[in-house]
Amino acid sequence: MISDKFLCDTSVIFNGQILNLIEDGELGEKPEIIICNIVVAEVEYRTNIQKEIGFFGLNVLKELRKLHNEKMINLLIVGRRPTREEIKLARGGELDALIREEARQNNAILITADRIQGVVGEFEGLEVLFAWEKKSKEELLPISLKILEYFDDETMSVHLKQNIPPYAKRGSPGNWRLQRISNEPASNKLIEDIAMEIVEVTREDKHSFIEIEKEGAIVAQMRDFRIVITRPPFSKDVEITAVRPLVSLKLSDYSIDSRLQNRLEKAEGILVAGSPGAGKSTFSAALANYYLKQEKVIKTLESVRDLQVEPEITQYTKLEGSLENSADILLLVRPDFTIFDEVRTTKDFQIYSDFRLSGVGMVGVVHSSSAIDAIQRFIGRIELGMLPSILDTIIFIEGGDISKVFILKMTVKVPHGFRDKDLARPVVEVRDFKNDRLEFEIYNFGNDVVVNPISSKYSSKGRGIPSSRAKKDKRIDLNIDVIKQKIIIRANPEYASQNIVIYADNQQIFIGSLSRNSDISLSLSNKEAKKILKELNNDKDIFAKVK
């Protein structure tokens, strides 16, 4: 190189390659490093909006100043700060053009890791040094990171927070304990050093990537580790949470008999449910790998791509920040099965439903405290009559294994507890797959959707007579409120989902069914609601009894 002057653009500050070039001696002895104020402004801007890359760039600038003070380099800051308008035009290349102009005026070699910036610089007659990532990048393994020092063979996750001793979850899915790793609180410097190290390795390693970067939060997938870094204003203090899958299982490792295995081969609308840490994602990955061996085309749709699946399975994330955009592309790929981890928002449920109605097999992962709660996540988001067409199998994971399997079927019948045959209606039956026992009925009653527990309401003796019938003569006190053109009738929670007869001074008014919240909602235009209002105005004693 003819010149010993080197001007850095933002790319080599944000990836830290300028420090590697100086350390390796590739810029000669005591080189002159020129940083223009445009670069400083960009680093400052990214830091102010709480982008993790901004904090990393700020540390690189601090290290350059330290090298200057130690007489290792000559550091020179040149040029003017960009205007607000120029910053807004940054994506159009305006700031890059100003950086190239500074290199020309200072007769300096432009150092960049941006291919477009470098090629345009060469076209304009500049001498350009491409600072690509380290040659060892493809072999880079995050084995020396500080965060890994907190992990052992039993550690599921590590939790670091400023001025708080570090903690770790240790054990196995569904059987873990929270342990303090050290009695010494994590200092601010330690937290920042670990965060910067994570960002640097994630950006350099081709097998790692930044999934989400927002103001005050960054989510990195570093090989098998999912790492979340938060800082103010999003969180009160700087915090790092690192999670890794402790086990990788096959479908044969679970409590699956041949009958359930045959069911999984035929099922197309599967929900894998369970509480956080129960092992839902581990099971879903095992199921995906099983389907792959059945010669099916498998894809995944994940907000954070951390499922441990075979390399043949392509993992998709948000396209331009939207899972809906990803779904549009994924439908064109026409997979046999899509593993959707995790289904949370209304849009997620709509995407799941659209895929199923398009004929794509789906495995959705949802957080829920019980198998029936997983089904209820769909109620209100789709028409009840479409529910069995979208969902056919619910697998509840508890303690790292399958604890419950429900299947859904649509039928037309008189719901349990109703006597009048004219009340027959479409009913979604939820049955226990193991013994085909009816567990719940789901149906429309007025404006409400009723999820009626069957096995818990009915005794095994006699002819299926409700066990609550013994209470049929017991008075049930009611609370009645008029809210927004509706009458809300509430009973004690012990009568939830039961059919009741409502009386006014011992004269029957009507028969109704309490919801799971032990209430009945009636529009004021409803004739029963008008009767209730009339009797209330006449100071009648309104109560109920079990039907």
Residues 161 and 239 both lie in one domain: yes
Element spanning 320, H or E: none
| The token pair that represents 201 in the structure block | 């390795």
- Mark which of 115, 132, 149 sits at the end of a domain: 132
Report CA torsion sign: 114, 119, 125, 128.
Answer: positive
459, part of any domain: no
**Within this chain, do residues 96 and 169 fall inside the same structural domain, yes or no?**
no
Question: If DSSP states are collapsed to H, E and C, what string results for 181-216?
Answer: CCCCCECHHHHHHHHHHHHHHHHHCCCCEEEEEECC
DSSP-assigned letters across all residues of 126-139 = --EEE-PPPGGGGG
Q: What is the DSSP letter of 389?
A: H
**What are the tens digits of pLDDT across the range 78-131?**
988 887 776 666 666 778 888 999 999 999 999 998 888 899 999 999 999 988
For β-strands 109-112 and 74-78, DSSP reports them as unpaired
Angle at alpha carbon of residue 11, lines to 8 and 15, rounded to 5°: 110
- Number of domains, the chain: 4
- Is there a single domain that holds both residue 264 and residue 352? yes
State which residues form the domain around 158. Answer: 138-243
Q: Is 6 helix (H, G, I), strand (E, B) or coil?
A: strand
pLDDT digits (tens, 9 = 90+) for 339-357: 998 898 888 999 999 999 8
Of the residues 132, 149, 165, which one is the last residue of a structural domain? 132
Answer with the one of 243, 275, 294 that is the final residue of a domain.
243
How far lies 107's CA from each of 3, 26, 466, in Å?
A: 8, 19, 91
Asked if the model's pLDDT at residue 322 lies above 60, the reply is yes
| Claim to verify: residue 287 and residue 303 sit in the same structural domain | yes
- Do both 346 and 198 map to the same domain? no
pTM, two decimal places = 0.60
Residues 422 and 278 in one domain: yes
Q: Counting beta carbons within 10 angstroms of the beta carbon of residue 111, is it exposed (0 to 12), middle (13 to 18) or buried (19 or more)?
A: buried
Q: Is the same domain home to 475 and 517? A: yes
Tokens of 158: 């590590």
The 8-class DSSP code of residue 345 comes to: S
Q: How many CB atoms lie within 10 A of CB 89?
A: 14
Q: In whole angstroms, what is the distance from residue 441 CA to residue 428 CA? A: 6
Distances (CA, A) of 182 to 172, 176, 227: 21, 18, 20
CA distance 351 to 342: 12
Q: Is residue 299 a contact partner of residue 194, using CB atoms and an 8 Å limit?
A: no
Q: How far apart are the first and last CA of the chain?
A: 94
pLDDT digits (tens, 9 = 90+) for 219-275: 888 888 889 999 888 888 889 999 887 767 888 888 888 899 999 988 889 999 998
DSSP state of 146: G
Q: Has residue 460 been placed in a domain?
A: no
The residue ranking higher by pLDDT, 363 or 202, is 363
pLDDT of residue 140: 44
Cis amide linkage into residue 342, ω under 30° from 0: yes
Q: Are residues 276 and 302 in the same domain?
A: yes
In sequence order, the 6+-apart residues with CB closer than 8 A to the CB of 469 are 546
Which pLDDT score, from 0 to 100, does residue 481 have?
82
d(CA 507, CA 325): 59
Residues 372 and 419 in one domain: yes
Contact 245, 151 (CB under 8 A): no
Tell me, yes or no, whether 110 and 60 share the same domain: yes
Q: Are 477 and 373 in a shared domain?
A: no
Q: What tens digit of pLDDT does each residue of 42-76 get?
A: 888 878 776 667 788 888 999 999 999 999 999 99
Residue whose token pair is 């680093």: 43
Domain identity same for 207 and 325? no
Check which CATH number belongs to the domain holding 339 and give it.
3.40.50.300
255 within domain boundaries:
yes
